[in-house]
Amino acid sequence: MRNLIGKSVAIGAIAALALTATACGSGRDGDSGGSKGDTKGFASDSLIGVALPSKTSENWVLAGDLFTNGLKEAGFKSDVQYAGASTTVADQQAQITAMVTKGAKVIVIGATDAAQLSTQVAAAHQAGVKVIAYDRLITNTPDLDYYVAFDNFKVGQLQGQALLDGMKAKKPNGPYNVELFSGSPDDNNAGVFFDGAMSVLKPEIDKGNVVVTSKQTDVKQTAIQGWKAEGAQARMDQLLTSTYGSKELDGVLSPNDTLARAIITSIKGAGKPVPVVTGQDSEVESVKSIMAGEQYMTINKDTRNLVKQTIAMVKALQAGNTPEVNDTKSYNNGSKVVDTYLLPPVAVTKANAAEAYANDPKLAPLTK
């Protein structure tokens, strides 16, 4: 027994010592990162992290595939992650932290919630990782390095203009009755689309040429939480019942294709003629709808170009260069003005669809 006591104590002590030794071996990393890595670049086979929102639209799935393939072609190791369907924000936070731990050199983030990632972005910055916000600007953090997106204000302007053009083509003289929809309030872009569209529509509304019959013009009233189709359909149902019993609806400003189709479903369900409805994203179903003469327009923001541009930025960082940006003034995220590369969006109606999608293997056949 005595022997055993001795043995156990010895084993315990050795275990404790061994653990201590491994721990001591790690040492403490200094607060290096940040400034040090600025001009040097990094190894050409480094890990690049890509954190995307949950797979709720075709665009994100496509973007994920394009990133996986594009980064591989460029010689990088990639880690492309989607947030889960229910715990999106927490998933994305954990994924970004894991990418930093794994030693990613650049992290590209398509944020699920623009304002809830500042802690993780700060941790990445302190570890010397460059952070690029993809498509959605991350707000309230001074640690974001670059932003790459389509010009979303321009998207709104194109939608507003198309709405006016479309209604004029159907009925030469106003006043036109319209309703306004906007995207999810936690998506930073939703407000930008709406403001862009209103910059075109507001003068016409003030002149009385365009009438928002329900008088719901505030972004809080028009917003659809989570970009959910059922939300838009429900709101349109209610507008039709409350406002359009006898009046005619000429146009609907819809921020994207999913909502546009839901709005059209609602209007058809009520037995009314389909008005001019705008959209965005060039989703397959909406392109079909445009060719069938229901939805009036959509916006082509070719995800291929956006991913290509992002990978070009990653390559520039790898070589130790400053990535090309074309807007250093307009995107203030609440803490700083973020250097931005904006790609131009294209408005697509039935008239120019064939031309606009000529290079898109999935959409081109639909326009023939």
Which residues in this chain contact other proteins in the complex, by CB under 8 A? Answer: 4-5, 8-9, 11-13, 15-16, 19-20, 22-24, 26-31, 54, 79, 81-84, 86-91, 93-95, 97-98, 100-102, 112-119, 126-127, 140, 184-186, 220, 223, 225-226, 334
- Using the minimum distance from each CB to other proteins, give the nearer residue, 28 or 215: 28
Q: Report the residue number, 49 or 166, with the smaller CB distance to other proteins.
A: 49
Q: Please state the closest distance from residue 142 (CB atom) to other proteins, in A.
A: 12
Q: What per-residue string of b and e applies to 222-236 under the rule 16 or more CB within 10 Å gives b?
A: bbbeebebebbbebb
CB of 202 to other proteins, least distance (A): 22
Give me the DSSP letters along 30-54.
-S-STTTTTTT---TT-EEEEEE--
Q: Please give the helix or strand (H or E) that residue 97 lies within, else none.
A: helix 88-101
Contact status, residue 236 vs residue 263, Cβ threshold 8 Å: yes
Structure tokens at 14: 């050795």
d(CA 46, CA 34): 17
112 versus 258: smaller Cβ distance to other proteins: 112
CA distances to 38, 153, 210, 301 from 343, rounded to whole Å, are: 25, 11, 30, 8
Q: What are phi and psi of 323, to 5 degrees?
A: -60, 150
The pair of structure tokens assigned to 296 is: 């009036």
Shortest Å, Cβ 26 to other proteins: 5
Q: Minimum Å distance from CB 109 to other proteins? A: 14
Which residue, 23 or 292, is less far from other proteins as judged by CB? 23
CB 67 within 8 A of CB 307: yes
Residue closer to other proteins by CB (options 98, 366) is 98
As a dihedral over the C-alpha atoms of residue 190, residue 192, residue 194, residue 198, rounded to 10 degrees, the angle is 180
Q: Are 223 and 184 in contact (CB under 8 A)?
A: yes
For residue 83, the minimal CB distance to other proteins (Å) is 6
CA–chain centroid gap for 11, Å, is 56
Q: What is the DSSP string of 107-166?
A: EEE--SSTTS-HHHHHHHHHTT-EEEEESSPPPS-TT--EEEEE-HHHHHHHHHHHHHHH
Nearer to other proteins, 123 or 211 (CB): 123
Instruction: Name which of 72 and 247 has its Cβ closer to other proteins.
Output: 72
Please, what is the minimum distance in Å from the beta carbon of residue 231 to other proteins? 10
Taking the least distance from each CB to other proteins, the nearer of 28 and 368 is: 28
Closest CB to other proteins among residues 118, 278: 118
Structure tokens at 87: 């715990």
Beta bridge partners of residue 340, listed in sequence order: 147, 327
Q: Which of 208, 191, 111, 186 has the alpha carbon at shortest distance from 156?
A: 191
Q: How far is the CB of 270 from other proteins (least distance, A)?
A: 27
Give the nearest distance from C-beta 114 to other proteins in angstroms.
7
Q: CB of residue 32 vs other proteins: minimum separation in angstroms?
A: 9
